[in-house]
């Protein structure tokens, strides 16, 4: 009996194992950390979801926990997570076919307003037509295209007042997706009235914006091709460069329908107008747009016939100046026979306008169709 009563006392005085002490210490520290971490605010979670529509509650809660209920930090945390998730998902999806999408054209200045030329054309690809028709996809395309037009380096001409030859240092510039990956993204005009995030920092880039939308939509989305044209303003009496565009089945931007459009088939033209004559801006814009529409209506690969007649097919020529003009009708202001070639009609328009030299000239042309062949 004595042994039985003494055993508990002996055991009660036994030292606590070292591992147990460590576990107890860790549990104590963990409990204190939990107690020190502020509980996510419901009001802040609601604020995050209003600033970033579509954010899951669990993600908003995690962001507030990670940032100790700091709204700015939580928004930045979510943005960083979206980019990381999108980049990882994009790598997994990059091998999947993406033949759908849209072509967007942003014309911030067409050259007729005295402020030079600022324009861009971009094709953004995705896997399904369903994604291509979403507002989120269109908004991203608009932001990329506008940003490229805004940040494009202006071309310079060594002789802007007297040269009328077809060769010009001013041209449409092609960009690889890699070369413009770090171009900052400007928000579309529709975002001007939206609540502004409180996070101050660098603007998202083209690559990070694409990664974010990949994470949200779960499709292989990529920048397929991009071009820009930028020309500095010139003095009155100098050769004028201008740009024109046309899109088939286009959808204009609700916030700025005149400067951005998107569709499945588009053209971008760079034209040159020597000084002289009495050319009204509305008439010049309308005539240039008719030529841009011609490029969309008839497959076009070049401006002039430079090599041989092999480029012409039995149905039509892919050379713009060798095609019958089908997008403009004869009128009192500009009379021409039905079936006249584009090059001949341009010359006649120039003579009637009193333009010097060779008259109005199409310098370069691009015609893009979603999923179509790319220029070499």
Task: Report pLDDT digits (tens) over 281-338.
Answer: 899 999 999 999 999 999 999 998 765 454 444 467 899 999 999 999 988 888 999 9
The confidence score (pLDDT) of residue 165 equals 41
The confidence score (pLDDT) of residue 28 equals 43
Question: Is the separation of the CB atoms in 343 and 362 below 8 Å?
Answer: no
pLDDT at 22 over 50: no
In this prediction the pTM is 0.74
Question: Is the separation of the CB atoms in 164 and 358 below 8 Å?
Answer: yes
List the structure tokens of 199: 């996070």
Name the more confident of 15 and 81. 81
- DSSP label of 100: E
CA neighbours closer than 13 Å in the CB half-sphere of residue 5 = 2
Positive or negative: CA dihedral 136, 140, 141, 146? positive
First to last CA, the chain: 100
pLDDT at 189 over 50: yes
- How does residue 161 score in pLDDT terms, banded at 50, 70 and 90? very low
**Rounded CA separation 241/345 (Å):** 19
The confidence score (pLDDT) of residue 249 equals 77
Task: Report pLDDT digits (tens) over 47-68.
Answer: 878 777 767 788 888 878 888 8
Cβ neighbors of 361 (< 8 A, separation 6 or more) are 164, 166, 271, 272, 273, 346
How many residues in total does the chain contain? 376
Task: Report pLDDT digits (tens) over 241-268.
Answer: 999 999 987 776 665 556 899 999 999 9
SS3 227: strand
Task: Report pLDDT digits (tens) over 93-150.
Answer: 677 888 999 999 999 999 988 889 999 999 999 999 999 999 999 999 999 999 999 9
SS3 302: strand
Mean pLDDT rounded to a whole number for the chain? 80
What is the rounded average pLDDT of the residues 163-170?
48
Name the more confident of 29 and 300. 300
Among residues 206, 221, 180, 224, the alpha carbon closest in space to that of 369 is found at 224
CA-derived radius of gyration, the chain: 31
What is the rounded average pLDDT of the residues 171-180?
93
Task: Report pLDDT digits (tens) over 327-349.
Answer: 999 888 889 999 999 999 999 99
List, in sequence order, every residue forming a beta bridge with 174; answer none if it has no partner.
227
Name the more confident of 277 and 328. 328
- How does residue 30 score in pLDDT terms, banded at 50, 70 and 90? very low
The confidence score (pLDDT) of residue 6 equals 45
C-alpha 298: how far from its chain's center? 26
The confidence score (pLDDT) of residue 295 equals 96
SS3 122: strand
């Amino acid at each position: 009996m004595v042994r039985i009563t003494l055993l508990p006392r002996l055991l009660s005085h036994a030292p606590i194992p070292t591992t147990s002490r460590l576990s107890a210490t860790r549990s104590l520290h963990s409990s204190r950390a939990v107690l020190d971490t502020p509980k996510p605010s419901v009001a802040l979670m609601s604020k995050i979801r209003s600033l970033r529509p579509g954010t899951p509650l669990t993600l908003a809660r995690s962001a507030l926990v990670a940032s100790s209920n700091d709204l700015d930090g939580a928004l930045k945390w979510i943005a960083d997570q979206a980019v990381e998730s999108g980049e990882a998902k994009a790598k997994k999806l990059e091998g999947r076919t993406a033949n759908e999408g849209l072509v967007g054209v942003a014309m911030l200045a067409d050259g007729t307003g005295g402020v030079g030329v600022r324009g861009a054309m971009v094709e953004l690809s995705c896997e399904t037509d369903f994604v291509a028709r979403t507002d989120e996809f269109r908004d991203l395309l608009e932001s990329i295209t506008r940003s490229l037009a805004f940040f494009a380096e202006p071309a310079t001409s060594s002789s802007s007042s007297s040269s009328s030859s077809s060769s010009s240092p001013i041209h449409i510039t092609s960009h690889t997706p890699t070369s413009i990956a770090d171009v900052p993204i400007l928000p579309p005009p529709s975002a001007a009235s939206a609540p502004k995030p409180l996070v101050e920092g660098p603007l998202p880039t083209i690559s990070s914006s694409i990664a974010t939308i990949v994470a949200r939509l779960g499709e292989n989305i990529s920048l397929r091709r991009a071009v820009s044209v930028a020309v500095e303003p010139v003095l009155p009496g100098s050769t004028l460069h201008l740009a024109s565009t046309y899109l088939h089945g286009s959808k204009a931007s609700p916030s700025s329908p005149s400067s951005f459009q998107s569709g499945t088939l588009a053209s971008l033209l760079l034209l040159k107008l020597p000084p002289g004559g009495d050319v009204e801006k509305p008439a010049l814009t309308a005539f240039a747009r008719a030529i841009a529409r011609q490029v969309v209506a008839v497959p076009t690969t070049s401006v002039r016939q430079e090599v041989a007649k092999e480029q012409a097919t039995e149905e039509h020529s892919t050379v713009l100046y060798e095609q019958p003009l089908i997008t403009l009708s004869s009128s009192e202001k500009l009379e021409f026979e039905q079936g006249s070639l584009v090059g001949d009609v341009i010359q006649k328009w120039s003579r009637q306008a009193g333009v010097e030299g060779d008259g109005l000239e199409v310098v370069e042309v691009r015609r893009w169709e979603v999923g179509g062949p790319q220029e070499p």
